[in-house]
């Protein structure tokens, strides 16, 4: 699958360990890890930053392997989850930085173009979050499966019945 706003077709990603059990040398219990996650979240760190700190400082490679649930689920359970999703927050932060740059450098046409691309990604994410996002395990679009298929066909059920 290619990139959204570039020509690249890179498929590189990190490799998750095959075994889903915590390593035998790890002494951390689920309760300890959950306390660490909550403590770091109260300091204002994002879920990905919490994962990096747990990996580098405490030797916990996969939080899900130890606790049985991901970092964001732990934060939601303890009412510490961020108000907006992390990916959306980072895109907004990047757009603000580019806008600030454009105020100083008005002739920077490339940055203006890149800002348009960043804002289009923001609008796509807002559309996803506005639909309910991935909450409740309802799939990518949220809501009923049939409804999602109808939306994919432009909201016309007669098209779907004719072509599927």
Choose between 75 and 24: higher pLDDT: 75
- Those residues whose C-beta lies under 8 Å from the C-beta of residue 77, and which sit 6 or more positions away, are 69
Structure tokens at 86: 């992390």
Chain-centre distance of CA 92, in angstroms? 13
Range of the domain at 49: 30-77
Asked if 106 and 71 sit in the same domain, the reply is no
Q: Is the pTM above the cut of 0.85? A: no
Residue position matching structure tokens 């580019």: 98
Asked if 98 and 70 sit in the same domain, the reply is no
Asked if residue 50 is part of any domain, the answer here is: yes
Is residue 135's pLDDT more than 90?
A: no
**What string of DSSP letters covers 131-156?**
TTTTGGG--SS-S-HHHHHHHHTTT-
- Return the pLDDT at 164: 44
Asked if 91 and 126 sit in the same domain, the reply is yes
Asked if residue 137 is part of any domain, the answer here is: no
Asked if residue 154 is part of any domain, the answer here is: no
Asked if residue 151 is part of any domain, the answer here is: no
Rounded Cα distance, 150 and 156, in Å: 6
Asked if residue 160 is part of any domain, the answer here is: no
Mean pLDDT within 60-88:
94
Number of structural domains the chain divides into: 2
Asked if 73 and 90 sit in the same domain, the reply is no
Please count the other Cβ atoms lying within 10 Å of the Cβ belonging to residue 159.
13
3-class SS letters over 5-36: CCCCCCCCCCCCCCCCCCCCCCCCCHHHHHHH
**What string of DSSP letters covers 83-142?**
SS-HHHHHHHHHHHHHHHHHHH-TT-HHHHHHHHHHHHHHHHHHHHHHTTTTGGG--SS-
Asked if residue 135 is part of any domain, the answer here is: no
- How confident is the model over 98-111, as pLDDT tens digits? 999 999 999 999 99
């Amino acid at each position: 699958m290619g990139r959204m706003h570039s020509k690249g077709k890179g498929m590189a990603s990190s490799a998750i360990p095959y075994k889903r059990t915590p390593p035998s040398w790890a002494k951390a219990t689920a309760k300890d890890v959950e306390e660490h996650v909550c403590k770091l979240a109260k300091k204002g760190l994002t879920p990905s930053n919490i994962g990096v700190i747990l990996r580098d400082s405490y030797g916990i490679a996969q939080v899900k392997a130890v606790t049985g649930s991901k970092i964001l689920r732990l934060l939601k359970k303890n009412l510490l989850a961020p108000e907006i999703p992390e990916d959306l927050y980072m895109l907004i932060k990047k757009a603000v930085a580019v806008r600030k740059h454009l105020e100083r450098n008005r002739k920077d046409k490339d940055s203006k173009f890149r800002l348009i691309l960043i804002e289009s990604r923001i609008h796509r994410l807002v559309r996803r979050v506005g639909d309910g996002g991935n909450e409740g395990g309802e799939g990518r679009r949220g809501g009923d499966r049939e409804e999602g298929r109808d939306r994919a066909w432009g909201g016309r059920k007669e098209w779907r019945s004719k072509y599927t």
